[in-house]
């Protein structure tokens, strides 16, 4: 039986707090990123991941 590992989003020391907003901007109008790390008020949550997409 294997082990299950997990992770969560966090900002590193020195981050401005604008990184999630910058990463959620479309690239060339075609590439979009979503996920719990990019939700502005609920990072690190299942509903943050759902609402970001």
pLDDT for residue 9: 75
pLDDT for residue 14: 93
Average pLDDT (13-26) is 89
pLDDT for residue 1: 64
| Residue spans per domain, the chain | 19-52
Q: pLDDT tens digits, residue range 20-41?
A: 888 889 999 999 988 888 888 8
Provide the whole-model pTM. Answer: 0.63
Kindly list the distances between the CA atom of residue 49 and the CA atoms of 25, 27, 28, 38, 44, in Å, as whole numbers in the listed order.
Answer: 16, 19, 23, 8, 8
4 vs 42 pLDDT, higher one: 42
């Amino acid at each position: 039986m294997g082990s299950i590992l997990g992770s969560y989003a966090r900002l590193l020391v020195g981050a401005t707090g604008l990184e999630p907003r910058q990463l959620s901007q479309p690239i060339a109008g075609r590439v979009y990123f979503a996920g719990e790390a990019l939700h502005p008020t609920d990072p690190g949550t299942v509903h943050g991941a759902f609402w970001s997409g």
